[in-house]
Amino acid sequence: MDAENFIPASLYVCPVVASRPVGAYRQVAFVAPEIAALAHPGQFIMVRRAGPALDPLLPRPMCISDADSDLVKILVEPVGKGSAKLAASQVGDRLSVMGPLGTGFDLEGEGPAVLVGGGIGVSPLVLTAGTLAERGRAVRCILGFRARQQAVAAELFRDFDVDVLTEDGSMGRTGLVNEPLPGCLAIEPGQPAPEVFACGPDGMLWEVARISRECGVRAQVSVATHMACGIGSCQGCVIRTKGSYRKACTSGPVFEAGELEW
């Protein structure tokens, strides 16, 4: 997606219609037809419980995990008070939502898509996998997790060819995503090269970037930084790219792996 060609974002108050645990995470679905219609894989929303409460004060950035005609789904890992409050959303609660925001993944390529997710970073890959498949591209997912509780989220990728790894071996293979990755990036002569779409912790993205570079394939990575505004006002969410800081909320969260400076 072209960073200069923004889909207009707007603010909505959205009722929660489903909320269920997915292992250690929680999937929350809310009614937001306008966002569902516009959402591009890899985009995010700024979201908080609706209402005047000051705790938390600001909305939190959350990837759009899935979207259909009416509903938007997010997958939340409770790591602090903002995410915990979102994860505790019950049916009937109302969320204040701004979106869709940011650039998503560029899906225009033709080669087989290798989706690499680490932990909660698998969230945006759900919609990404679905959309790529609709466009007729081969989709293969490599999903790494700390342990079984997190790895349960692999169920969201039921329809796809999925490789699950856990660090402690409690589910799938033992190890990290960078082990199977090179094997999926072989360039078949005469065929379009594979492309990597990745989201996860910085350390993982760094490895994904290195391996992709070594294999000579393009990698797009979605980064998570601390955000306050989500719309380019605060300059808080910057990430170091070659030559300068760039705002993850407007120039990202998806960047070409090669652009980032680690």
Ligand X SMILES: Cc1cc2nc3c(=O)[nH]c(=O)nc-3n(C[C@H](O)[C@H](O)[C@H](O)COP(=O)(O)OP(=O)(O)OC[C@H]3O[C@@H](n4cnc5c(N)ncnc54)[C@H](O)[C@@H]3O)c2cc1C
Ligand Y SMILES: Cc1cc2nc3c(=O)[nH]c(=O)nc-3n(C[C@H](O)[C@H](O)[C@H](O)COP(=O)(O)O)c2cc1C
Distance in angstroms (rounded) separating the CA atoms of residues 174 and 153:
16
Does 201 participate in binding ligand Y (rule CB under 6 A)? no
Query: Which listed range, 50-58, 120-128, 187-195, 209-217, lies at the site for another protein (CB under 8 A)?
Result: 50-58
Please state, in angstroms and rounded to a whole number, the distance separating the CA atoms of residues 19 and 226.
Answer: 25
Torsions phi, psi for 67 (to 5 deg): -155, 135
Two structure tokens written together for 47: 């979201």
Region class of 234: left (phi > 0), else alpha (psi between -120 and 50), else beta: alpha
* Residue 28 · residue 120 · CB < 8 Å: no
Residue 198 in tokens: 């990745």
234 binds ligand Y (CB under 6 A): yes
Site string for its own copies, 50-69 (x = CB under 8 A): ---xxx--------------
88 lines the binding site for ligand FES (CB under 6 A): no
Taking the complex as a whole, how short is the minimal distance between the CB of residue 230 and ligand X, in angstroms? 8
CA–CA separation, 36 and 195 (whole Å)? 25
User: Residue 247 interacts with ligand FES (CB under 6 A)?
Assistant: yes
Picked from its own copies, ligand FES, ligand X, none, the partner binding residue 123 (CB below 5 to 8 A depending on kind) is: ligand X
Site for ligand X in 204-233 (CB under 6 A): 224-227
Among 16, 24, 76, 211, binds ligand X (CB under 6 A): 76
Q: How far apart are the first and last CA of the chain?
A: 23
Which chain residues interact with ligand X by CB under 6 A?
44, 56, 60-63, 74-77, 79-84, 120, 123, 224-227, 253
Which chain residues interact with ligand FES by CB under 6 A?
227-230, 232-237, 247, 249
